[in-house]
Structures are given as C-alpha cells and as structure tokens.
Amino acid sequence: SYVIDQQAVINPMLSQMQASNIGQTIVDLSNYTNRYYTTSGGVNASNWLKSRWTTIANGRSDITVEQFTHASWAQKSVILTIKGTDNGNEVVVLGAHLDSINQSGTSETTRAPGADDDASGVASLTEILRTLVAGNYKPRRTIKLMAYAAEEVGLRGSAEIAKSFANAGTNVVGVMQLDMTNYKGAANDIYIFTDYTDSQQNTFVTNLISTYLPTLKVGTDRCGYACSDHASWNAQGYATSMPFESSFSADNPYIHTVNDTYANTGSQADHSLKFARMALAYAVELGSDGP
C-alpha cells in the first residue's frame, strides 16, 4: 500500500530544484559527438557521469557509484546506490538511459546529441541526486539511480541489469523510468504509460503528482511496444512506471537525429523539472518506508 506522508521532507526539497541545473547537464551530455553504445563518445560519457555523480555524492559513506560492465559492448551503465539505514534490502530504482543514436546509423563520428532522448532523463536524475545530498536525506530503503547503456539497440543494458537483480533475488519494490522529459508536445504535462507498467504503482504516481505538483495535468497513453528500459524490469516481474513527456502522437520529432538538441527544446529544462520533482517525490516516499 502506497502511503504518502513525507510532505515535511519533500516540499522543502522540491523548491530547491532548478531547471538551470538540469539544462547544464543536458548540454554537457549532448556535447559528446554521440553516446552510442559502441563508440568512444559512449564510453567517455559513461566515465564522465560516474565522476559527476561521485563528485555530487561528496564523500557520503552511504553512497557508492559503480559502472556495470556489459560483456559484449564497450559502454558501461552507471549505478549509484544510496544504502538504506534500516530497510536496505528493499530497493527503489530510478532509471534513464545514457546512450544516444542516429537513425541513419551511428559510427565514431556520427552526430547524435540525444538531448531529449535521453540526456533529459539522466539530467533529471542528476538534479534529484544533488537535491537529496543537499538535504542530507538518508533513506530507510536503498535507492539506486541507474543510467543504462545500450537502450536504443534493444534495451540491452537494462535487460542485463534487471536479469542480474532477478537472479540475485533482489527485492526491488519499484522502478521508475525517465526517458524523454523535456519536449512538451501535447496538452498535458505528464503522460503515465499503461503498457509494460504496474497499474497500482501508476495510481501511486498519479497521487504523488496531485499531492506535490497539483498544478500539473496528467494524461495516460501507451507505447504499444517495449519502448524503454522499464520493459526490462517489467519482464522480470518488477513493478514499473514510465512517466513520459507527451502523448504518443505528439512525441519529439527530432529524436534519433542530429536535431535532438537542447535548443530544439527551447534551451530550457522547465518540462524536465516537473519530472525531476515527481521522481524525487517517488524516491523519497518509497525510500522512507521501514520494514
């Protein structure tokens, strides 16, 4: 049962979060020629994110950052863990994908900025991390932030990670995917996707939005296929949610091209900020539950 009772902790943190921080990370990530899973840009972006998250963690002994090595390609996924205080065997996962792709084919020198898809998701996670550390938040459950490799080529990084968690019998109580958060293509602010997700958790997310972000309008839609990394966790039987930037018909037309740039989302991250705030509320409400 999803209890919403962390207002005293969450509301002050929400006002600390800034779109400009998210925008800077989007720019930093989209400056790599590409972040494709087999190129040096893809490898370098992974190493950059690991050191970025390590810096933000600022020496907290309960926070570790690791790279998950994938045997059959070069780009590593990045996993940050905030160890729970007294209910650490229960795990909350927030994910986004690190890689980018150009639909015309992606080699070492092909430009694929991937600003919206999905630097915007990684940047949202980064701002959540910064805010949690600034607020000295210590979760009772373990919280993991994941930047997946190789999403664009068949959700391959998250598939390997989700399988390894299932094999280890890890009790993941919920997963949220942030893939494309900065292009406001349709009337509503956040679209909760209903396929490859968990309906009870989706109701919880909707309730989080009405509690913490009451001015936002929520819609629902479906992908019709395994459209992002949440599907990897869903396949392993875990509860997932995928809040998305727009409706299916109005999604960002620039993705997977050289034009998926920060400028083409208005050189601002106001839409992503809504997702970062929602995802922080999700992390803290779930993360604060005891055994």
Ligand X SMILES: N[C@H](Cc1ccc(I)cc1)C(=O)NO
Interface with Zn ion by CB under 5 A: which residues? Answer: 117-118, 179
For residue 219, what are the β-bridge partners?
A: 191
- As measured in angstroms, the least distance from the Cβ of 290 to Zn ion is 34
The one catalytic residue in 99, 127, 179, 229 is 179
Residue nearest ligand X (C-beta atom): 248
Which residues have C-beta within 8 Å of that of residue 168, sequence separation ≥ 6? none
Which phi-psi region, left, alpha or beta, contains residue 237 (left: φ > 0; alpha: ψ -120 to 50)?
left
Q: Which is nearer to ligand X, 154 or 291 (CB)?
A: 154
Known active-site residue 117: yes
Helices 120-134 and 40-57: crossing angle in degrees, nearest 10, is: 20
Binding site for ligand X (CB under 6 A): 117-118, 151-152, 179, 223, 227-228, 244, 248, 251, 255
Smaller CB distance to ligand X: residue 248 or 254? 248
> What is the four-CA torsion angle of 95, 97, 98, 104, rounded to 10 degrees?
180
Q: In the complex, what is the shortest distance from the CB of residue 116 to ligand X, in angstroms, rounded to a whole number?
A: 9
Residue of 28, 62, 195, 256 with catalytic role = 256
Give the SS3 label for residue 35. coil
- Non-local (6+) Cβ contacts of 258 within 8 A are 102, 111, 112, 113
Q: 230 or 277: whose CB is closer to ligand X? A: 230
Catalytic (active site) residue 256? yes
Q: How far apart are CA 76 and CA 34, in angstroms?
A: 15
Q: With respect to ligand X, which residue has the nearer C-beta, 120 or 131? A: 120
Please state the separation of Cα 44 from the chain's center in Å. Answer: 19
Q: Which of 99, 118, 151, 198 is catalytic?
A: 151
CA distance 264 to 38: 26
Residue 248 binds which entry of Zn ion, ligand X, none, with Cβ cut-offs from 5 to 8 Å by kind? ligand X
Residue entry with tokens 């927030």: 94
User: Which residue among the candidates 70, 90, 97, 289 is catalytic per the annotation?
Assistant: 97
Confirm whether 28 is a catalytic residue: no
The tokens describing 114, both together, are: 């991937």
> Can you read off the two tokens belonging to residue 270?
């106001």
151 is catalytic: yes
SS3 3: coil
For residue 223, the partner it binds in ligand X, Zn ion, none, with Cβ less than 5 to 8 A by kind, is: ligand X
Nearer to ligand X, 178 or 227 (CB): 227
In angstroms, give the least distance from the CB of 66 to ligand X: 23
Catalytically annotated residue among 90, 99, 116, 117: 117
Shortest Cβ distance from residue 124 to ligand X (Å)?
15
Q: Active-site residue 271, yes or no? A: no
Please identify every residue annotated as catalytic.
97, 117, 151-152, 179, 256
